[in-house]
Amino acid sequence: MQNNKQITLIIGGAASGKSRYAENLLKNSKQEKLYLASANIYDKEMQVKVEKHRLRRGDDWTTITEPLNAADKIAKLNNKQIMLFDCATMWLTNHFLAENDIHNEIELLIDAINHSSGSIVTVTNEVGAGIVPENSMAREFREIQGELNQRLAASAIHVVQVIAGLPLTLKHHNG
């Protein structure tokens, strides 16, 4: 990635290779690499997954664990930093379960991304390609996740969908 600000969205299904693809985008960056982790670790399986990701990234990353206040961390980026925000879906889930004002939180996040001085790569899940959920809570979450993904994609300079580890560029602007 170049030193000018980049806003990239990586989207795909669960276990599609999104995180690995995003990490590889930043691998050779000369900017300071920050990893913004939104996951809460509730069980052994999640702890193993987090550790696997950390080992794969290596030691030249600074990890920031922030399940709710991603906008604050993104807003503080400077032009010598690049951040991988992994992932917007977990961040949204945290706000959803906390019964926070999700639409306000989305506005704060998008505003932070748009006005940050640093570059950001955001990972998110595509949840609209499956069957219609049978319960109202899952349907509500799917709608809100779809709204968040559309807002993230609209703000991004680059959007890449990852399927089975293979990237498909959906949006690319040079400039």
Residues taking part in catalysis: 53
Determine contact, residues 95/151, Cβ cutoff 8 Å.
no
Q: Rounded CA gap, 131 and 139, in Å?
A: 10
Q: Rounded CA gap, 144 and 105, in Å?
A: 11
CA-CA distances (angstroms) from residue 50 to 45, 57, 92, 121, 154?
9, 11, 18, 18, 29
| Residue 70, amino acid | A
